[in-house]
Amino acid sequence: MANLAILVGERIRQIRKDNKISQEKLGEMAQLQSSYIGGVERGERNISLETLEKIIKAFDMHYAEFFNFRDIGNPDKLGKQELLEVFVGELLTNDIEQIRKIYDIYNIVNNK
């Protein structure tokens, strides 16, 4: 499955759990089957933009808020590429001073 599909699935799971919504309830809210929601969350199903829009509207969120992957629910389930995408997204939203601090931490961790 594509990296974005995995990130989107994890993001849906995170938002759903943060809001204490079951897959069944989210399915009702978005007019989708709960089994479909589960497949998307596990990265087993590819989601269309139309369906993703239904889910985002069910959460009553703005698109930009949904696509904020910085607080992704379970990073242990993400592979190297997905983690890199989350990290790069975080770097792109930080100011230069925060990026310098991250760079300093990187140097400390790598004994440079």
Say which residues have a Cβ less than 8 Å from residue 42's Cβ, sequence separation at least 6. 9
- Which of 35, 29, 37, 33 has the alpha carbon at shortest distance from 57? 29
**pLDDT for residue 68:** 78
Q: What is the pLDDT of residue 27?
A: 95
CA distance 5 to 91: 21
pTM: 0.68
Sorted by where each starts, the structural domains of the chain and their CATH numbers stand as: 3-109 (1.10.260.40)
Sequence length of the chain is 112
Task: Assess contact for 12 and 55: CB atoms under 8 A.
Answer: yes
Give the 3-state secondary structure of residue 27.
helix
Q: What is the pLDDT along the chain (112 residues), one digit of tens a residue?
A: 457 788 889 899 989 999 999 999 999 999 999 999 999 998 888 899 999 999 999 999 999 888 877 666 566 667 777 777 777 777 777 789 988 888 888 888 888 6
Helix (H) or strand (E) holding 23: helix 23-30
Please return the burial class of 101, using the count of CB atoms within 10 Å of its CB with bins 0-12, 13-18 and 19+.
exposed
